[in-house]
Chains A and B, each alone.
Chain A
Amino acid sequence: MGTQVWPLMRFLIKGSVAGGAIYLVYDQELLGPSDESEAALRKAEEIVPPAMYQFGQYVCQQTGLQMLQLPEPPKLNFPVRESWNSGIITVMLALSMAPIKPCEYSKEGWEYLKEHAK
């Protein structure tokens, strides 16, 4: 009787774990439109770090270990995204002006030579 029940129990446990995972994905709309995924990611960003910290505190309390305090990372005030964007825009602008600028410079040079040749 026990040998017959255990495979059934195992199948039911595995089925409930897999079904629970599918239900969680369906309920949180993780595989839906991009708006819902973005909202789910933001929710996770708010919930996960404090939960991890509290879990670490709980483990430290139970085991008596002390959590390592890492020094704060240096704060960089350098706006990487804006510099990158403005760099791309400057390069593209220069490339778009590339055919026109030599004409202008050669015209100016010619005018300069004409004035000096008089």
Chain B
Amino acid sequence: MSETDLGRKWDRCMADAVVKLGTGFGLGIVFSLTFFKRRMWPIAFGTGMGLGMAYSNCQNDFQAPYLLHGKYVKEQ
């Protein structure tokens, strides 16, 4: 794996972690406010889920070095 590929993978991992953490945190807040009477555990649960999903994605990305990342273009 070249240095640029490694750097790109790390950048993708960091961006993915930020998005998933934020999403998990946000969903946790929504559910905490709507259904769980402003308790802390849905927020912690959502944040933890997001972090775990990001970690899993990063792990797959680093362990599959020959997988190409492409875009699927829908037929028009």
Contacts and interface: CB of A to CB of B under 8 A. Distances in A.
A binds B: yes
A31 B53 contact: yes
Contact of B19 (A17, A22, A40): A40
Given A30-B23, A38-B19, 14 more contacts: A14-B35, A17-B30, A18-B34, A18-B35, A21-B27, A25-B23, A30-B19, A31-B23, A34-B57, A37-B15, A38-B12, A38-B16, A41-B15, A85-B3
A22 B53 CA distance: 16
A13 to B, nearest CB: 9
A31 B3 CA distance: 27
Interface residues of A, number: 17
Interface string A18-30: 1001100100001
Interface of A: 14-15, 17-18, 21-22, 25, 30-31, 33-35, 37-38, 40-41, 85
